[in-house]
Amino acid sequence: MNRILQIANILIIALTCSVLGFSQKPYAQLPDTFNRSNPSHFYTYIKKIISDNKQSELVIQLIDEGVKLAKEKHNDSMLVMMNYFLADYYFYREEYPKALDTYQEVLPKFEQLCDTLMIARVYCSIGLVYGYHNDENGVLEYMLKANEILTKTPSKKRLIEQERVIVKSNIINHYHKTHNYEKVIRLASTALAKAREIGDSTRLASILNTVALSYKNLGQTDNALEMFNEAGKIFDKQNNTFHKAFTYINIGGLYDYIHKNDSTLKYYTLALNTFKEVGYAYGELTALTGIAEVYAITNQRNEASKIFISSIERAKELGFSDIVIDSYADLADIEYKNKNFQKAYEYQQKHYELRDSVSSFEKEKKLAELQTQYETVQKENEINLLKSEKLIHENELRRNKLFSWTAFVVIFFLLVFIYVGIIFLNQNKKANELLTEKNNQIEAKNRQLSELNLKVMEINKNLKKSETALTLANNTKNRFFSILGHDLRNPFHSIMGQSYLLSKSYDQLSVEERKKYAQDIYQSCEKVNRLLDNLLEWIRTQSEGIVFNPQLTDFKQVVQESIAVLKSNADEKSINIVNKINHKIQITADYTMLETIVRNLIANGIKFTPPGGEVIISAQIQNLHLIVGISDNGVGIAPENMDKLFLVDSNFKTHGTNNERGTGLGLAICKELVSIHHGKIWAESVPGKGSVFHFSIPAPLTR
């Protein structure tokens, strides 16, 4: 029923947007009655079109013209309103940082104008911005500020009354979102009474819907049904078919909550037909899968399966991944109850894989939010820098004033010297000494300012270093979370699923099937072991505790041992490993690290070479360097991916010719170990023909 809760919340958001007073209908052009010298015309038409993103150029044009008119007429109130509309424009384009900055800029200006209504609206808008950042404390803080302003205002004007209802509605929505359902019900009574008093049916429906959901979550289903029905009657009077469909969904979900399957099926069917009528595909699929869930509960599993399968196909076409994920889980549950464990396992695997991919997207989104927070810190640092520059400027002004005062003193004493002559010669000398002291103080101030400038430059340099380090750390962390959360978990899913089927159906399976399951479990364990080896090796290369132990090493022996370890992998794909090193090559190197490099590169060649191919290892001495080449005749690498090969944070992964999965760690480990030897590693490739990976190590060599 998660989808039903999601679509109920969508109704709350839709009604919240509508109560802000912005139209969703497009306006192709301004009417002939529009008067560009009348401020009220700007207010009216900007409000009408500001939420329509297709009209963004027209909105900006009107705001610019409004700013120009306000400056020409010296109309401060109009100038502030134009900036407020600019903030609304950013809000409806989901440019929330810009919207927040602009709202905070206009707030003190409305306070100077003593415009109570606009102060409350700005507080309300800032609260909504915090809501889109999931900062519920920020939402409540600014909504309560707006409510306090309006409560202290004795005015009974309709606009003030409407704003009071809007703010109370937003506060109620906040408490519902934070699961404080008792508080929702307690606060709703006055808001409902005020909405009925001023005849604001849209706001009334919004509050009724939120209160109904709170009653449902508290188990008070009769009260919830009463509220939903009252909201539905309002939508009927408004001829609002779209919101009426949401009401059917909510009532159906309520009956599902109390296990009245016939009523649940009735309202989901009404919702399905209504969503089809208005052409809202997401709601249509939500209602359809709700019907399928009722069929599954009432043991009509075949009908339920057909609906889920068709819903998955359509949801994939429309990009509704949440419906696809939940439908796979429902199908797995149906097949499990039908004792069809193989299909249940397959559907559950699809559910996990798609859920993991969506989870990865959420991580990227979270990373983007962290980046936004980092940029905010950067902006604060820039403000601090500006403050420092302001301080420098103020010091310069003080110095200039001091210099002017000193010049005045010099002139004064010169006049005294001319007037009095030799009698005041001694006093003039003291004045000169005072002047010298002041100049020394000025020079000291100049030195302090120079030191302050150097410190500011050093701070900027450190900030850039921190930014680079933070970006790299975030990318690496995200990559490791992806490996641990996906690549390490998937083999375990396979092991669990296959071992479960093997244990539950052992007596029904043939000997060949048992062997196949055992072989699959072994291969999954082997993949986990290789991944853990690579993870541990990478962690070791990134720690300061890694020990580099160079010793005289026979490189031919290193290659032979690596081939022996990987021979079973090559035989499985009928791949021939050719060792062209036919003589002894001795080199001073760390034996374990060198063997890890060679083994990873050979394993890579096996992975991306089709059955029947070959991997060739060769080496030569050139300019006091051992240059090694490991080539294959596999699938090759596209030119645009060459730069991503050796980076652990690039998210570049491909499947082998037998659909082998990789993590991208192997090549990154090779690069680190080659760097420890003060060598270098590179690759050459032709897509469709194969690849050659080279590395070189500088060292005195002997044959």
pLDDT of 436-459, one tens digit each? 888 788 888 888 887 888 888 888
Of 291 and 31, the structure prediction assigns the larger pLDDT to 291
CA 340 to chain centroid, in Å, comes to 39
What is residue 555's predicted lDDT score, i.e. its pLDDT?
A: 92
Structure tokens at 665: 């760690």
Nearest-angstrom CA–CA distance, 191 and 185: 10
DSSP secondary structure letter of residue 702: B
Q: Tell me, letter by letter, the H, E, C secondary structure of 533-601.
A: HHHHHHHHHHCCCCCCCEEEEEHHHHHHHHHHHHHHHHHHCCCEEEECCCCCCEEEEEHHHHHHHHHHH
CA atoms within 13 A on the CB side of 71: 7
Structure tokens at 263: 């009523």
Across residues 479-498, what is the average pLDDT?
Answer: 63
What is residue 527's predicted lDDT score, i.e. its pLDDT?
A: 64
Give the neighbor-by-neighbor strand order of the sheet with 625-632. 576-579, 614-622, 625-632, 690-698, 680-686
The pLDDT tens digits for 139-188 are: 889 989 988 988 888 877 888 888 888 888 888 888 888 889 899 889 88
Mean pLDDT of the chain: 80
Do residues 80 and 45 make contact, with C-beta atoms less than 8 angstroms apart? no
Number of helices (H), then strands (E), belonging to the chain: the values are 23, 7
pLDDT tier at 46 (50, 70, 90 boundaries)? confident
Nearest-angstrom CA–CA distance, 610 and 534: 24
pLDDT tier at 598 (50, 70, 90 boundaries)? very high
pLDDT tier at 483 (50, 70, 90 boundaries)? low
Q: Which of 42-56, 275-289, 408-422 has the highest mean pLDDT?
A: 275-289
Structure tokens at 434: 């005072």
CA distances from 136 to 129, 163, 175, 177, 633 (A): 10, 21, 9, 9, 57
Do residues 75 and 56 make contact, with C-beta atoms less than 8 angstroms apart? no
Candidates 208, 128, 199, 138; CA nearest to 170 is 128
Strands 625-632 and 550-554: unpaired
Torsion of CA 286, 291, 293, 298, to 10 degrees: 170
Structure tokens at 209: 């819907």
- The answer to whether the predicted template modeling score (pTM) of the entire model surpasses 0.75 is no
Nearest-angstrom CA–CA distance, 8 and 12: 7
Do residues 143 and 167 make contact, with C-beta atoms less than 8 angstroms apart? yes
Least confident of 22-26, 210-214, 218-222, 642-646: 22-26
Task: State the CB neighbour count (10 A cutoff) for residue 126.
Answer: 24
Name the burial class of residue 40, with classes exposed (0-12), middle (13-18) and buried (19+) by CB atoms within 10 angstroms of its CB. Answer: exposed
Nearest-angstrom CA–CA distance, 389 and 392: 5
Superfamily of domain 547-698: Histidine kinase-like ATPase, C-terminal domain (3.30.565.10)
